[in-house]
Structure 1
């Protein structure tokens, strides 16, 4: 927090006429439709007690995290020449691939790529069929046929009408599915009871290699520091103000040897409290063990805030506060103007 005491003599300034800050407050209250019940007459007797220049900060922190994992892939071995087999190395240090060149990904929060590590491929006996080249048929369980579920003893019940064209009065007719045989030939294995192994295509051997999966995703957080006091200006107002200006920005590659404090070395005058809050956010929301941070983006926006403490002549012991903010102090925030329409005296009551 950067804070300065005003060097102007406020009392002398007000003695000569209206104060610019109070004029802005009065204009703000008049134009605010939600304040229609406010009685602004006491404001004509208000005077400024103190003015303080404060700084509000919004830090946008984004990291591009890379995660890696492997999976095993198999394919039938057709007798092709196999590349010299090499054991899988360290998935982080031994395999280098192109990485995104921007911290914030376009079109979404993550991106994935899969790489075939052909140098790890090797031939091995098929484990699914125990290198036999075939497995038991799943339709007939190795019998080559299966019982017909449509009929009983090869016939289907009908009626006993002599004119029935299906049973001719016999009360049943031959099953048209099994043709009276009570069992149906398996169309999958064609009575053999076994089918070619789907993993090795009946060739008894498979080609095995490793796939490396890489996922990039964004992690984002926002850190706010509001003049050292969250009651001065709500964080929502600070975030939405159009008067902020960028006072620091970093967007570059990141590695495990760097620390978040390093990026602030070139940012002079930055609040130590804000740095501490950014570091805490980085450690708790970004720096977990699920992967590696490969890029970091940090943008700090600054907003000038002038805190005005004022009082009314009728009640000089009560101090109230409002804020002017922005480069030209043309935005006003007030949430405690104390007078609303009422009865008695000057028509004012304290909330």
Structure 2
């Protein structure tokens, strides 16, 4: 609809049958706060050509995907731990843990847990110290001491003033760090050059087991279809409509043997195009080989859309009506 200067000629605009769609549009535009932006006079002479009832759908598709991976854990072996070594089994089929009972996670988009598979623990020689129980000290590199970086040849340069409390006029004084020995005793290894291995704590062996990481993550998408065309009305208009009703709902555990097509078997009369769009969204946005879908939620809402084709002079167009949350008619002109 073209923008013109405002008009106050409302009598002619509001004339006509109150049930007429164009009359309702005139009333809506005249009462709308933005009516001054439009020239409503062409609507006074517009004529309805055809009215059609269309069906609009908005589908909410959510999946809860589970990912699993493993990592290795180590601890010193003190000799009193029970070792019941069992090889790692299939991380998907042989380890069952409690899973979320709702598709939409509370408080966030994902949740992560870590489980210690203690049945996989076994003793191994410590690889960090080659089962020696100790490693070379990182501070002194195995020498037990290191060169003093504070002094030169055990002394620190000073002044040559006779009254100086440090050098008393000698020009240098004894290094207070190495006490003139030039090298400093390593406080980490206490001259030994080696320290206990941090992995095995000096016991030469470690316990090794597997940690199983499990992550649950939400994935959501919205699919719309109205009047056989996905672009007639934007998603925001469909979501704000007060006239929607739920025509299909599914929320349950999901198995790898199931297919997305199967859930629509109980929904008679649903548009085949909408089903195809939902299946496509499922395959492209939800189906990922990095994990498994364990729950699926699908809710389809239906709403009534009325399309009014009109003409005034040689111009023509159409209007789509739905009820919004404020109980007003939302209109779009083409």
Q: 1:9 & 1:259 partners in 2: Cα distance? A: 60
In the alignment, structure 2 segments of 5+ residues that lack a partner are: 320-324, 327-334
TM normalised by structure 1 equals 0.83
Task: Evaluate the alpha carbon distance shift between residue 94 and residue 261 of structure 1 in structure 2; reply closer, same or farther with a 3 A threshold.
Answer: same
- Cα distance between partner residues in 2 of 1:301 and 1:318: 24
From the superposition, tell whether residues 135 and 318 of structure 1 become closer, same or farther in structure 2 (CA, over 3 Å).
closer
What is the total number of aligned residue pairs between the two structures? 321
**CA displacement at 1:301 relative to structure 2:** 1.1
SS at 1:97's partner residue? Answer: coil
8 Å CA contact retained: 1:10, 1:49: no
Distance 1:253 1:13 in 2: 56
Partner deviation per Cα, 1:139-185 (whole Å, 9 max, x = no partner): 00000000000000000000001111100100000001111111110
1:79 corresponds to: 79
Contact 1:261 1:279 (8 Å CA) reproduced: yes
Judging changes above 3 Å, is the alpha-carbon distance between structure 1 residues 163 and 313 closer, same or farther for their aligned structure 2 residues?
closer
Q: Deviations over 1:257-293 (max 9, x none)?
A: 0000011011111100000000000000001111000
Q: Secondary structure at the match of 1:318?
A: strand
Structure 1: distance between partners of 2:20 and 2:82: 84
Deviations 1:42-72 (A, max 9, x none): 3233321101110111111110000000111
Are the equivalent residues in 1 in contact too, given 2:4–2:39 (CA < 8 A)?
Answer: no
Q: Is the 8 A contact 2:10 2:30 kept in 1?
A: no
CA distance 1:182–1:314, shift in 2 (3 Å): closer
Secondary structure class of the residue paired with 2:317: coil
Distance of 2:216 and 2:17 partners within structure 1: 62
CA distance in 2, matches of 1:188, 1:210: 33
SS of equivalent residue, structure 1 residue 23: helix
In 2, are the aligned partners of 1:82 and 1:121 still within 8 Å (CA)? no
Query: Contact conserved, 1:2 with 1:55, CA < 8 A, in 2?
Result: no
Is the 8 Å Cα contact of residues 307 and 318 (structure 2) preserved in structure 1? no
Q: Is the CA contact 1:133–1:196 (under 8 Å) kept in the aligned structure 2?
A: yes
Q: CA contact under 8 A between 2:16 and 2:23: conserved in structure 1?
A: no
Show structure 1 runs of 4+ deviating over 3 A.
1-19, 313-319
2: CA distance, partners of 1:316 / 1:223: 30
8 Å CA contact 1:226–1:235 kept in 2: the answer is no
How far the C-alpha of 1:32 sits from its partner, in A, is: 2.6
Q: Structure 1 residues 105, 4: CA separation in 2 closer, same or farther (over 3 Å shift)? A: farther
Q: CA RMSD in A?
A: 6.8
Pair 1:7–1:156, CA change in 2 (3 A): closer
Q: Is the 1:110–1:217 contact (alpha carbons within 8 Å) kept by the matching residues of 2?
A: yes
- C-alpha change, 1:316 and 1:276, in structure 2 (3 Å) is closer
CA distance 1:132–1:2, shift in 2 (3 Å)? farther
Q: Return closer, same or farther for 1:18/1:203 CA change in 2, 3 Å cut-off.
A: closer
Query: What does the per-residue CA deviation read over 1:51-99, in whole Å, with 9 as the maximum and x for residues that have no partner?
Result: 1110111111110000000111110001114332110000001111110
Are the equivalent residues in 2 in contact too, given 1:56–1:227 (CA < 8 A)?
Answer: yes
